[in-house]
Structure 1
Amino acid sequence: MAKTDYWMADGYGNKALVEGAAERDRWKPLGWAETTEPEPGDMVWMEHPETGGRQRFAAAVIEQWQGLGWHPAAPPEPVDVLHDSQLVDQAAPVASAVVPKSTDRTAASGTTPKES
């Protein structure tokens, strides 16, 4: 049994084509919703199976890019910035303690100032 394709939109004018109800349902909690086919002004996620490239294209040029091997696809996987091992917070460098030099010459010479 063939899976059904679903057009999804993210609310920012970006559309993507996902395969199967399970994939459609996986993207819904991530802010994507079922929608209609792309219209002028929409951007469409496409991928090239030979290169693995994934890019957004204007809906008006989908046919031209399909001739070059690109096809509508799902958006790239989301990045979880709190748990991605490549985006781990780095500790801030530790600054060395700076001891200011005394500008009081009497303290440096060991003498006391004269009283007036």
Structure 2
Amino acid sequence: MPTPKIKTWLVDETGDHALIEGADERDQLLARGWAEASEPTGTQFLWASHEGVEKPARFNALAFPDWAARGWTPSGPPADSDLAVTAVDAANGEPRG
């Protein structure tokens, strides 16, 4: 049975958090300026993914439990997270941007 990958919270220079699975991805983000962090709280932001949605979206930590109930899970940032931020349209839960 394979060993489960360790999950690590990281934060970028803007304060956005991401839950990273595995040492390889963690090390890549650390080399790009991310730092190890604790789970986001309050008004901090985190990246989350949803099955069927192409890119992760950015959520406020206080509001995230409502989105988690809709199937969103904390994840890594989108591949182009250094270039753009993906917002979520709170009216319908669909990513935009």
Does the TM-score normalized on the shorter chain lie above 0.5? yes
Aligned equivalent of 1:67: 69
Matches for 1:76-95 after TM superposition, within 5 Å: 76-78=78-80
Structure 1 residue 79, shift from structure 2 partner: 7.2
Separation in 1 of the partners of 2:81 and 2:67? Answer: 27
Q: Does 2:54 correspond to 1:52?
A: yes
Task: Give yes or no for contact 2:56–2:76 (8 Å, CA) kept in 1.
Answer: no
- The two structures, once aligned, show a CA RMSD in angstroms of 1.9
Aligned equivalent of 1:87: none
Task: Give yes or no for contact 1:45–1:74 (8 Å, CA) kept in 2.
Answer: yes
Per-residue displacement from partner, 1:68-112 (whole Å, max 9, x unpaired)?
Answer: 11111100113798xxxxxxxxxxxxxxxxxxxxxxxxxxxxxxx
Percent sequence identity over matched residues? Answer: 37
Distance 1:50 1:30, change over 3 A: same
Q: Which structure: larger Rg? A: 1
Structure 1 residue 24, shift from structure 2 partner: 0.5
Q: Which amino acid aligns with 1:62?
A: F
Per-residue displacement from partner, 1:25-48 (whole Å, max 9, x unpaired)?
Answer: 010111111111112121101111
Task: Give yes or no for contact 2:55–2:78 (8 Å, CA) kept in 1.
Answer: no
TM-score (norm 2): 0.75
Separation in 1 of the partners of 2:82 and 2:38? Answer: 28
> Runs of 5+ in structure 1 lacking a partner?
82-116
Task: Give yes or no for contact 1:13–1:41 (8 Å, CA) kept in 2.
Answer: no
Greater strand share, structure number: 2
Greater relative contact order, per chain length (Cα 8 Å cut-off, separation 6+):
2
